[in-house]
Structure 1
Amino acid sequence: MTKPLLMPLLLLFYILNGKQLDLLIVWALAAAFFGDVFLMWSEKKLLLLAGIVAFLLPFLGSLLFLISDSLLAFDMFTDKKQTNHAGIMFNYILAQALIVFGVVN
């Protein structure tokens, strides 16, 4: 029952000690908190799904940015120019959309 307290404590520490408040970090910590809370009642399928989504959105957005930036870096620093620009843009747009979706919800 104490696990959901971790994210609000980390969020409070971040707010009090961060040099500049980044709303994406605030959102990611809040999403992790709600994920923890929803998973406490995981026997209810809707809350289990809500918990999984709450955890997945911030990490998926980060992962997609990592993929698109890694593809760009590979293209820039190698002689093999094999980058699929459509793939990069797909990952980038999807990551942005997930962040906006998460912020709106």
Structure 2
Amino acid sequence: MSEIEGSSGVSPDKYEAYRNDFIKSSNLFQEALSDYTKTTEYHKKEQLKKTMDEAMKIMNQIVRAGLKKSEQTKEEKVSKDYTSYMKDGNAQNLKNLNDDLDDLQKSLKG
């Protein structure tokens, strides 16, 4: 098994559970992001932002608890992209966020 930072000596079963929880959270984040970019309603955007913030928080906790170092690095990029996108709503930041999130999800599912 690859090196796992976070919790030293994470068992394969525990790693699998962390990985599955992370995938669920990242899927929720991606769905909320997609809806966020499509809606113009202020209150709906605020609710979706809360959902994305919470999903990102959970993803960060899971990464620290027991994902592989390579997955941690990819998640850090996603987190940085999200912060940049929420700051300015720039289309390039959104593309970076979606690309990095897709890359992370592929590495976890593969």
TM category, shorter: 0.3 to 0.5
Q: Using CA pairs under 8 Å that are at least 6 residues apart, name the structure with larger relative contact order, 1 or 2.
A: 2
Per the normalisation by structure 1, the TM-score is 0.44
